[in-house]
Chain A
């Protein structure tokens, strides 16, 4: 799909979609939304880029092994933070997860960093799933493997 109409329209649209996705992720603890919702919006924008500009351009921009590394690192950090919260709860440490106050971004303790990590994982996973449907395999998309 390489029509110039689609290219121009999506070129105008993509920044707004991505900014909205980042907004939903960052304000997930204060308003409806969060890591999964925002991450799926970001992932949708990446999929749109892939469909409009073609697989090669998309593979150049979103390199498979970098994306995989980002997703895995995000998952590991998510696990470590959750582990800190769970073990801290058992050992009676201070609860680092709060309710948050409307209007101030840096409230609610660990919820915002967790949302960011979840958002990264979800966006990349959605993009990978779309790749998987196209290629039939993850590894083929990556010239390094």
Chain B
């Protein structure tokens, strides 16, 4: 398959058409987003969205295959080359994340085809698709871009679109959660814009490579300005990426949104700012400057706090979706922990955990959405004995939950193991204790649901086998996500090697 694809790409004329893929995928999503309000029938809406996402997935796969063979590349947009115009930079990491986003969004849209109109009004489905595709386009823009101001604009678009898919359900709590998210996010984007102003005044450029060169060239006496700007970026992007003390918008937003929106919010929306943060750290400032500041230690500390307190909060939740939302805070803690370690393995594991968590958390949210849709309950204690009524869905929930806890072979274990290795590399052995405590805490809130779901005489009493199960075609997207998640665990060696090739010089 790979051979075949590369043959195709080698035969093209001198300007390599593969390099158009990033631009074409963003434009495809935006154009199909604005075609949505012109359509009326539900079948047409989902057909257009699914078609666009399927094409996007194929394009992203070709892109990954090309980069696997030939390495990353730059793409200048318009007739103005890099320092004046906007350019995109697509390396191993960017192409992999784009493929991940395309797959997850396609699966979520597939799931939404069967269940979306049970949660939102019929007339809102077009709005949901517009916002969803616009959101994905802006997230891809954040991932691809090589220009920090362009990244900021895409961040704002993604904030508005994410708020759109929260408030698409017309409930009181949704409006409240959406407004809370919007207020905190606008706080974050103000900080990011201030950081960009500081960087622009220091270097006079907006393109990441040129900023980096200018900063390295005249570093003396600018340490304070650099420290202020890097803190502005970290806090601003930390709000959008749910870094621990700044996560307060997340549980409301993720728990009240319709299940497909929750899956997209948890799997994709909080990941893109983290990618942007990694790019700011290692492409804009560079390893040398970042290691001179205290910022990595701060990120590490907030990551550890997120790992522990996110799990503690998740333990005390009574609603299933709120629990999973707090679990996202804990998992984002792992990602910030990995960034904060500051060595190559840490950054690689941050990217790997982003991939693993996106697949796992989307299938968890969709499984929880199926439970809630079929039973009508919201609280965890009402789901006792659900394993007899919906065995396949709970099976998917179990596999994903085990990955969160960190059972060997599943991706959660791989990332925890490698994070432990990375902590040993930099001689910070006490970090292993936090990893262990966090794993135990994860187990303490995922296991009770699974055990009470499958076992226990009084739990299973009066439940009819398969009575509430969904037909298999509706479960297929969930099964595909879970299989992909297991595959990410199985082939972790190859994947980590691929990420390592593209990791920014650390």
Contacts and interface: CB of A to CB of B under 8 A. Distances in A.
Given A79-B27, A139-B123, A89 B34 contact: no
A43 B20 CA distance: 36
28 contacts: A68-B37, A69-B37, A69-B38, A72-B34, A72-B35, A72-B38, A73-B38, A76-B35, A80-B31, A83-B24, A83-B31, A85-B78, A86-B23, A86-B27, A86-B78, A87-B20, A87-B23, A89-B77, A89-B78, A89-B79, A90-B20, A90-B23, A90-B75, A91-B15, A92-B15, A97-B79, A139-B123, A145-B123
Given A79-B31, A87-B20, A72 B37 contact: yes
A83 B27 contact: yes
Interface of B: 15, 19-20, 23-24, 27, 30-31, 34-35, 37-38, 75-79, 123
Per DSSP, are chain A's interface residues mostly helix, strand or loop, or mixed? Answer: helix
- List 10 A-B pairs, minimum CB-CB distance, nearest first: A75-B34, A89-B79, A79-B31, A72-B34, A83-B27, A95-B79, A72-B37, A89-B78, A68-B37, A91-B15
A68 B19 CA distance: 34
Interface string A49-74: 00000000000000000001100110
A110 B34 CA distance: 21
Nearest to B36: A72
A96 to B, nearest CB: 10
A120 B78 CA distance: 23
Nearest to A137: B170
A72 B123 CA distance: 17
A69 B35 CA distance: 9
Interface string A84-115: 01110111100101000000000000000000
B129 to A, nearest CB: 13
A72 B36 CA distance: 9
In the complex, which of the residues A69, A73, A79, A145 has the most CB atoms of chain B within 10 Å of its own CB atom? A79
Interface of A: 68-69, 72-73, 75-76, 79-80, 82-83, 85-87, 89-92, 95, 97, 139, 145
Contact of B15 (A72, A80, A90): A90
Given A79-B30, A83-B23, A86-B78, 10 more contacts: A69-B37, A72-B35, A82-B27, A86-B77, A87-B20, A90-B15, A90-B20, A90-B23, A90-B75, A92-B15
Contacts of B24: 83, 87
Contact of B34 (A79, A87, A90, A95): A79
A90 B20 CA distance: 8
A88 to B, nearest CB: 9
A80 to B, nearest CB: 7
B399 to A, nearest CB: 40
A87 to B, nearest CB: 6
B93 to A, nearest CB: 23
B140 to A, nearest CB: 15
In the complex, which of the residues A68, A83, A92 has the most CB atoms of chain B within 10 Å of its own CB atom? A83
A97 B34 CA distance: 24
A92 B77 CA distance: 12
A76 B36 CA distance: 11
Contacts of A145: 123
Contacts of B19: 90
A73 B37 CA distance: 10
Nearest to A138: B127
A68 B38 CA distance: 8
B34 A76 contact: yes
In the complex, which of the residues A75, A86, A145 has the most CB atoms of chain B within 10 Å of its own CB atom? A86
A28 B389 CA distance: 65
In the complex, which of the residues B20, B23, B30, B79 has the most CB atoms of chain A within 10 Å of its own CB atom? B79
Contacts of A79: 27, 30-31, 34
Contacts of A73: 38
Contacts of B30: 79
A90 B73 CA distance: 13
Contacts of A89: 76-79
Contacts of A90: 15, 19-20, 23, 75-76
A79 B30 CA distance: 8
Nearest to A89: B79
A38 B86 CA distance: 26
A94 to B, nearest CB: 10
